[in-house]
Structure 1
Amino acid sequence: MPHRFVDHFAGRPRSQEQYAATHRRGDHPDMTDAVKGPASYFPSIEKKYGRPITEWKELIRSSPFVKHGELVAWLKTEHGLGHGHANALVAHTLAEDKAE
């Protein structure tokens, strides 16, 4: 007997083919519009540290440091950011500045 997948929203078993047809990568609206890369951290950074991203970017740009690693270390020690959040902010800000 073939394996049956349960559609948890509809509460009924479905065949593997039916399940796969509606769960292909990228078919879900939340997956196609998802923010990727460093910007995906921005909502949690704003929530956790209470400052808008534009303010963090201004701080980074006005910092006496210019190298990625120095900026990350500065955000961690002077502003209490975690490594991933600091890294995401610096990467995004430096990429923006490079593109200009």
Structure 2
Amino acid sequence: MTKETVKGPASYFPSIEAKYGRPIAEWKALIRAQSGKKHMELVAWLKEEHGMGHGHANALVADTLRE
């Protein structure tokens, strides 16, 4: 058996939860509540308001908007 490796934005999720102390579902709900903002506006918001790094913010926004 081979262990399936998580790829793409979701590969960041364990470290996001560990570093910022919220489950991914909560971060996604916060992103969805920012209606009308574009991808990079949401990334900037996460960085400015929540102190998130660019890669983590970008991964969360990309995965949330993909849904």
- Asked if these proteins are the same fold (TM beyond 0.5), I'd say yes
Report the secondary structure of 1:29's partner residue: coil
How does the TM-score come out when normalised to structure 2?
Answer: 0.94
State the partner residue of 1:91.
Answer: 62
How many residue pairs were aligned?
Answer: 67
Please list the CA deviations of residues 60-93 of structure 1 after superposition, one character each: whole Å capped at 9, or x if unmatched: 0001552000000000000010000000000000
2:47 corresponds, among 66, 69, 76, to 76
Match of 1:29 in 2: 2
Please give the alpha-carbon distance, in whole angstroms, between the structure 1 residues aligned to 2:64 and 2:37.
11
- Maintained 8 Å contact 1:65/1:71: no
TM-score normalised per structure 1: 0.64
Q: Which has the larger radius of gyration?
A: 1
Deviations 1:31-76 (A, max 9, x none): xx00000000000000000000000000000015520000000000
Structure whose residues are more often strand by fraction = 1
Structure 2 residue aligned with 1:16:
none
The whole-number CA distance in structure 2 between the counterparts of 1:84 and 1:71 is 13
- Any gaps of 5 or more consecutive residues in structure 1? 1-27
> Tell me, which stretches of 5 or more residues in structure 2 are unaligned?
none
Runs of 4+ aligned structure 1 residues displaced above 3 Å come to none
1:90 & 1:74 partners in 2: Cα distance? 10
> What is the RMSD of the two structures over their aligned residues, measured on CA atoms?
1.3
